[in-house]
A and B are shown apart, each in its own frame.
Chain A
Amino acid sequence: MEHSHFYAQIDRYAYTNALAKCSPITKGFFAVSALLISVSSSSALLSATIFLITTIVTLYVAKIPFHFYFDMFTLPTIMLMLSCLFIALFFGYGEKLAEIGMLGFTWVIFKNGVTLSITTFLRVESALSCLFFLVLTTSITDIFITLRKIKVPKTIVELSLLIYRYIFVFLEVSAKMNTAQTLRLGNSGFINRIRAIALVAGNLFIRTLEQGERTFIAMNARGYDGNLHVLEDLPKPTKIALIGIALFDAAMLVLIILTISIGVI
């Protein structure tokens, strides 16, 4: 078992956080509505507000440790910074902010390019915070049952359910194969490493086919009839929580209108 694995850790928090017993409908409503609002507006103030609120809820209400939450942001933030740098350097028109002479070229940085870069950065971070809130507080079982409740096509839900479970089985298998290769010095040097990864990938592919067949047989042995039935016991959403979230959403929408009318970014 790979307890220390990052994905397994996310899963663990999803089952053990302080909001685990809260209705997934409430949590999903909060995360998805905040996400939609934040991506539909280009206001930096709004994005920052949503980011702060979801982060506070994740850290202080759901009680996810700060360092773990921080780690989750590291990688996407690095990628995002690169893209935003690109936007700031190459996008925009009109009012110039700076001109840089370089290799015989004159490089122009525009004011609205920089603005776009900043708003994009905040927008993506706030969207991520909404997503991380959902992922860290809601177990995958609850998400599947909720998806089924809101009439997402069965095939998609059932496929995701099986994929989810076997991700962990194959994570374990690939970790074992990787260790076996390392012990026989398969990971020494760049070329060897590439070769080793290719071997694991090829092997895993065949393993998945075999596993699929065995799982199907095992499911048949327990009377599988082509329909995956699940126990549907979910905590009911409380009205007060739903109303609270609706009010929060309304406040954010008002904030959008305000920022447009007074001209704040």
Chain B
Amino acid sequence: MLFRLEKLSYCYSDGTLALNEVSLSITKGERIAFLGINGSGKTTLLNHLNGILKPTSGTVYYEDTPLEYNTKSLLSLRKKVGFIFQDPNDQLFAPTVKQDVAFGPLNLGYNQHETRKLVDQALKTVGMNEFAEKPPHFLSLGQKKRVALAGVLAMQPEAIIMDEPTANLDPIATSEILHLLLRLNKDAGITLILATHDVDMVPLFATRLYILNKGKIVSEGTPKEIFSNVELIRNANLRSPRITHLFEVLKKEDNLPIDDQLPLTISEARKEILKMLKKQPNS
């Protein structure tokens, strides 16, 4: 078990109860999405996984050891768990891309030579090695996000936590980030945990997801399980993916012979349509 949260509650200083007895566990290699509207407690929850926030009550376990909040144990946690913030300007503080990516490895005590290697490698992975000498303010938002990711990758983490990794990105940048993340999970076995309200992206990304509403986990399961319960999704003020919604309407209103298990992605929808037309896919 990589992460385990036990009855985690967090109360902000103004009295807002942002998390209310949240319990969950995450195993190595999973791709987890926390889905919820703005203010549902997603960011607060993520901040606990990296020790940025200390729970008001309850415990966070990493690899079955309860988290301690002293400098030394936080440092060793942050070596293994990288965090990518929603606004890359919060994260990119150094005058050049290369210096920024080098920040993490140097903090971990790697020497100049080792750091340079890690930086090169990380920038190559995210496809930003041409921009190594550029200052961050010359980059687009999508490029800044990729540099922020490289900054975390250079620390060779076991898990990466991301707050809204695709927010405000154009369609191409979104799909690039998404594919990059999937590749990291597949090739390097990095556990990915993200918060989002992009319901169309979730089925493409997540192996498992949690629905958050008003600081509580209201549901947990695979995308198929979660999105088949339309009632639950709507109660959390979310919606089904567009393609799922279309098939739901076609099934209910137009009585098309559609499987109870509604498709969540374009490729599943394609299969479903071809099945209805009794046609073999053109591969």
Contacts and interface: CB of A to CB of B under 8 A. Distances in A.
Interface in B77-97: 78-79, 82-83, 85, 87, 89-96
A101 interface: no
B96 A223 contact: no
Given A15-B135, A162-B93, A233-B116, A221 B50 contact: yes
A1 B52 contact: no
Nearest to B161: A221
A218 B115 contact: no
A53 interface: no
Interface residues of B, number: 41
Contacts, number: 103
B151 to A, nearest CB: 7
Interface in B188-235: none
B75 interface: yes
Interface in B125-166: 133-138, 140, 151-152, 155
Contacts of B87: 214
Contacts of B75: 223, 225
A211 B90 CA distance: 7
Contacts of B78: 220-223
B107 A15 contact: no
Nearest to A161: B95
B99 interface: yes
Contacts of B152: 222
Determine chain B's interface SS by DSSP, over half rule.
helix
Interface in B155-190: 155
Interface residues of A, number: 36
B262 interface: no
Contacts of A166: 93
A168 interface: yes
Given A11-B135, A165-B136, A232-B112, A141 B52 contact: no
Interface in A201-257: 211, 214-215, 217-225, 228-233
B85 A231 contact: no
Given A141-B99, A232-B112, A218 B138 contact: no
27 contacts: A8-B137, A15-B134, A140-B95, A141-B95, A141-B99, A144-B95, A162-B93, A165-B94, A165-B135, A165-B136, A166-B93, A168-B135, A172-B137, A220-B78, A221-B50, A221-B52, A222-B103, A222-B155, A223-B104, A223-B107, A225-B75, A225-B107, A229-B102, A229-B106, A231-B98, A231-B99, A233-B112
